[in-house]
């Protein structure tokens, strides 16, 4: 199967105009699949819900495969109802990020997102037997684990996706640290997360860069960058390569990763192009190499 480049759902609380502009640019970018939908906080959903059909039509007209992504944490009755309605979508593929969706998916095919914990072959086989056709693996998995799961996916006749760019999701909480950091409660957060379009910096007591906070989500401070690992991933059977959106020039990011996938430039040249984008955080690939995730492991190329 030809390698596909994908755009993950936007994790951050961008205003509607910013999102519309983003998807307009992505429609012209060299990507294959685009995931849309609110996956972090259900309170954000009304701000963009009315635009989903418009965005989906624009992307589809541009030749992209549109996939709707679900919430990753479902606790309230309102959120359970949202998931029930989400699972009734007929015109587009769906990606689930919380196991609560499984109750509603009997007999329907679906993708499994990176915010579900697919860590072993038995879990993959269980879900594949119940309709899962595609798995985006958690970003903290090391290379050897991805290789095992990619081999299992080939055996099961499903496909595998790995995030290769952007801040990595590390945890989700029932509480909103973003709100508490501004002396607000979750139910009266006043959507303060909108002030941090790439996440709120969380530093150590020594004021060193540590993590990033996005509402109820904890992300890495560093930007995952697996461009040097593409060849290895393709050999082991990874079929889809995911870019997580940020406020940087994602079209330029997509063009660079696409050029590597197509064999037009080397990973070394791609690394130089990405470094020139002035991304306000270091790159990392430690998880892939079995090292602490924030590290960038250099390789002989």
Distance (Å, whole) CA 277 – CA 290: 27
- Which helix (H) or strand (E) segment is 193 a member of? none
95: number of CA atoms within 13 Å, CB side? Answer: 29
Does residue 72 contact residue 83 with C-beta atoms inside 8 Å? no
Average pLDDT over residues 256-273: 96
How many domains, the chain? 1
Distance (Å, whole) CA 22 – CA 178: 24
Q: Please give the DSSP secondary-structure letter assigned to residue 98.
A: S
133 burial class (0-12, 13-18, 19+ CB within 10 angstroms)? Answer: middle
Domain-located, residue 208: no
Q: Please give the DSSP secondary-structure letter assigned to residue 74.
A: -
Domain-located, residue 273: yes
Q: Quick one: which of 164, 127, 130 has its CA closest to 238?
A: 164
Q: Is the pTM of this model over 0.95?
A: yes
Domain-located, residue 243: yes
- Which helix (H) or strand (E) segment is 126 a member of? helix 121-128
For 104-138, how does the pLDDT look when each residue is reduced to its tens digit (9 = 90+)? 998 899 999 999 999 999 999 999 999 999 999 99
Residue 278's pLDDT is what?
A: 86
Domain-located, residue 54: yes
For 161-203, how does the pLDDT look when each residue is reduced to its tens digit (9 = 90+)? 999 999 999 999 999 999 999 999 999 999 999 999 999 999 9
Domain-located, residue 215: no
Distance (Å, whole) CA 283 – CA 168: 11
If DSSP codes are grouped into helix, strand and coil, which group holds residue 36?
Answer: strand
Residue 65 has pLDDT above 70, yes or no: yes
If DSSP codes are grouped into helix, strand and coil, which group holds residue 113?
Answer: coil
Q: Note down the domain range covering 86.
A: 4-169+220-289
Residue 225 has pLDDT above 90, yes or no: yes
Residue 301's pLDDT is what?
A: 44
CATH code of 243's domain: 3.20.20.70
Domain-located, residue 181: no
Domain-located, residue 108: yes
Domain-located, residue 185: no
């Amino acid at each position: 199967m030809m390698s596909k480049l994908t755009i993950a759902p936007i994790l951050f609380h961008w205003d509607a105009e910013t999102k519309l502009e983003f998807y307009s640019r992505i429609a012209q970018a060299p990507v294959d699949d685009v995931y849309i939908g609110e996956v972090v906080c259900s309170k954000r959903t009304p701000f963009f819900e009315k635009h989903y059909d418009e965005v989906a039509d624009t992307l589809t007209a541009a030749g992209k495969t549109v996939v709707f992504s679900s919430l990753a944490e479902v606790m309230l009755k309102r959120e359970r109802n949202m998931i029930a309605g989400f699972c009734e979508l007929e015109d587009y593929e769906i990606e689930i990020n919380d196991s609560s969706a499984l109750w509603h998916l009997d007999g329907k095919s679906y993708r499994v997102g990176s915010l579900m914990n697919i860590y072993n072959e038995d879990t993959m086989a269980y879900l594949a037997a119940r309709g899962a056709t595609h798995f985006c693996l958690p970003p903290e998995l090391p290379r050897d684990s991805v290789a095992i799961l990619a081999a299992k996916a080939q055996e099961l006749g499903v496909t595998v996706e790995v995030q290769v760019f952007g801040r990595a999701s590390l945890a989700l909480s029932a509480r909103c640290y973003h709100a508490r950091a501004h002396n607000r409660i979750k139910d009266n957060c006043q959507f303060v997360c909108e002030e941090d379009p790439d996440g709120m910096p969380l530093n150590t007591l020594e004021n060193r860069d540590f993590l990033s906070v996005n509402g109820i989500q904890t992300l890495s401070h560093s930007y995952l960058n697996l461009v040097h690992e593409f060849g290895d991933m393709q050999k082991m059977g990874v079929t889809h390569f995911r870019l997580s959106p940020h406020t940087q020039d994602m079209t330029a990011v997509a063009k660079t990763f696409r050029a590597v996938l197509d064999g037009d430039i080397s990973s070394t040249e791609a690394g130089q192009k990405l470094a020139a984008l002035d991304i306000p955080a270091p790159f990392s690939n430690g998880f892939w190499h079995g090292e602490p995730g924030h590290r960038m492991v250099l390789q002989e190329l």
